[in-house]
Amino acid sequence: MTGLPVSPFVIRADVMQAHADAAAIRADAAAQAAASAEQTALLRREAVAAGHSEGLEAGMAQAARLASEAAAAAEAFLNERAAELQDLGFAIAHRLLASLPRDEILTRLAAEAVAEHRTDVQLTLRVCDADVAPLRAALAEADPHGRVAVMGEPSAAPGSCTLVHGRGRTRLGLLDQFRALMGAAA
**d(C-alpha 132, C-alpha 148), whole Å:** 12
Kindly state whether residues 91 and 132 are assigned to the same domain: no
**d(C-alpha 15, C-alpha 180), whole Å:** 114
Kindly state whether residues 92 and 157 are assigned to the same domain: no
pLDDT tens digits, 90-121: 788 778 777 777 777 778 877 887 777 777 77
**d(C-alpha 162, C-alpha 172), whole Å:** 6
Please check whether residue 2 lies inside any domain of the structure.
no
Kindly state whether residues 19 and 94 are assigned to the same domain: yes
Give the CATH number for residue 165: 3.30.2320.30
pLDDT tens digits, 25-57: 888 888 898 888 899 888 889 888 888 888 888
Question: What is the domain count for the chain?
Answer: 2
Please check whether residue 76 lies inside any domain of the structure.
yes
Please check whether residue 7 lies inside any domain of the structure.
no
Residues in the chain, overall count: 186
pLDDT tens digits, 117-173: 777 778 888 888 888 888 888 888 777 777 888 888 888 888 788 888 877 777 776
**d(C-alpha 93, C-alpha 96), whole Å:** 5
Identify the bridge partners of residue 163 per DSSP, sorted by sequence position: 125, 170
Please check whether residue 29 lies inside any domain of the structure.
yes
Kindly state whether residues 112 and 177 are assigned to the same domain: yes
Q: Please give the pLDDT value at position 65.
A: 92
